[in-house]
């Protein structure tokens, strides 16, 4: 029987509660407790999940092997440094930090102390996205649209670092190549930070990624389109489902598949259509499972510190390009 990992949570806000819920029910975790700066909220969370609410983060850090940092981005660096100095493994919600210098310092400290740093890019654990990656080969163009209705919560962070950074990380995981150029535009509307953003990332191998993010929309939209020779996909993460159009063959008898012959200027071609409904999995639980696995095996997590840094640096470059033209 595997020994339970002693974990603590710092930050019990909207997302922190979900971490606490999963960790408190996990068979491989001893959730020692949590700390939240909001005393009223902390009392409520403690009663809801029947776990200890610590009066300060230092006492909690001392009693655990690992800490999940689910706090506002501007606090990530100070908390992570405090944990790493005490040789604790850390999970840090995305983005890893406010600046690339801070992220690099965390990565250096973790390497020195031989500690795990995992960054919370949850979409890497989304079963729909992982199914999409198994379908596509080498897309030459990727389009991702991520829209959400406006909420006052979280607007201290620009939409690039709040929403688009998810898709930056996804594109980097799909295109293993250096970036050639980045173009970006956007605007402020409802807050003091950028609310709408568009970015185009070109890679040196010719792949182009177009990313659109907005927190001023009627409905939630999460769509991914990929284009490659003889293959086109449309992924809707809200349903979720993947539509595949290709000229090769039907993907599998287990999917909803149809075909149609079409007379083109190049002769008659058969286009195959597949609709894939991915298996249901809780992406946050899968992410937490990977953190626990990394702690127990001392293997790198799927999204480690350097990957978190890469996504942050590109997000900051996009944000800077937008701000050059936005007052």
Please give the average per-residue pLDDT across 170-190, as a whole number: 95
pTM of the full predicted structure?
0.93
What are the Cα distances from residue 89, in Å, to 86, 198, 288, 302, 310?
Answer: 9, 35, 13, 15, 20
**pLDDT of amino acid 163:** 95
* Angle ∠(278,95,98) on CA atoms, nearest 5: 170
Judge whether 20 and 49 are in contact, CB under 8 Å: yes
State the average pLDDT over residues 53-67. Answer: 98
* pLDDT above 80: residue 252: no
234 and 294, same domain (yes or no): no
Q: Is residue 190 part of a domain?
A: yes
> Is 308 a domain residue?
no
Tell me: do 275 and 128 sit in the same domain: yes
Distance of CA 209 to the CA centre of its chain: 17
Q: Is residue 129 located within the same domain as residue 111? A: no
- pLDDT of 154 reads 63
If asked whether residues 269 and 291 sit together in one domain, one would say no
Q: Is 309 part of a structural domain of the chain?
A: no
pLDDT tens per residue, range 216-240 = 999 999 999 999 999 999 999 999 9
CA distances from 35 to 51, 77, 191 (A): 11, 17, 29
Residues 119 and 129 in one domain: no
**Residues 119 and 204 both lie in one domain:** no
Same domain, 133 and 261: yes
Identify whether residues 146 and 168 lie together within a single domain: yes
Instruction: Judge whether 307 lies within some domain.
Output: no
Domain range enclosing 77: 5-123+283-302
| 310 within domain boundaries | no
Residues 247 and 146 in one domain: yes
What tens digit of pLDDT does each residue of 195-221 get?
999 999 999 999 999 999 999 999 999
Domain count, the chain: 2
80 and 176 co-located in one domain = no
Handedness of CA 23, 156, 150, 145 (dihedral sign): negative
| Same domain as 135, residue 99 | no
130 and 239 belong to one structural domain: yes
């Amino acid at each position: 029987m595997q020994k339970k990992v002693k974990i603590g949570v710092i930050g019990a806000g909207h997302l922190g509660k979900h971490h606490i819920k999963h960790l408190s029910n996990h068979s491989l975790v001893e959730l020692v407790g949590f700390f939240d700066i909001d005393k009223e909220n902390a009392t409520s969370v403690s009663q809801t999940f029947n776990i200890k609410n610590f009066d300060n983060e230092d006492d909690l850090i001392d009693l655990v092997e690992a800490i999940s940092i689910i706090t506002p981005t501007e606090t990530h660096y100070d908390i992570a440094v405090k944990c790493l100095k005490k040789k604790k493994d850390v999970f840090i919600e995305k983005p890893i930090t406010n600046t690339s210098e801070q992220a690099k310092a965390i990565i250096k400290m973790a390497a020195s102390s031989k500690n795990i740093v995992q960054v919370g890019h949850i979409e890497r654990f989304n079963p729909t996205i992982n199914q999409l990656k198994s379908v596509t080969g080498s897309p030459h163009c990727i389009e991702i649209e991520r829209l959400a209705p406006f909420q006052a919560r979280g607007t201290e962070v620009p939409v690039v670092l709040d929403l688009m950074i998810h898709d930056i990380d996804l594109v980097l995981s799909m295109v293993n190549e250096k970036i050639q150029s980045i173009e970006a535009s956007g605007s402020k509307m409802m807050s003091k930070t950028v609310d709408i953003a568009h970015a185009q990332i070109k890679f040196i191998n010719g792949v182009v990624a177009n990313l659109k993010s907005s927190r001023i929309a009627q409905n939630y939209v999460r769509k991914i389109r990929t284009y490659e020779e003889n293959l086109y996909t449309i992924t809707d993460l809200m349903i979720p489902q993947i539509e595949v159009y290709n000229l090769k063959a039907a993907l599998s008898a287990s999917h909803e598949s149809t075909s149609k012959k079409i007379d083109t200027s190049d002769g008659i071609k058969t286009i195959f259509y597949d609709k894939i409904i991915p298996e249901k999995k809780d992406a946050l639980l899968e992410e937490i499972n990977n953190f626990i696995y990394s702690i127990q095996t001392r293997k790198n997590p799927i999204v480690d510190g350097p990957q978190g840094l890469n996504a942050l640096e590109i997000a900051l470059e996009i944000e800077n390009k937008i701000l050059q033209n936005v007052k």
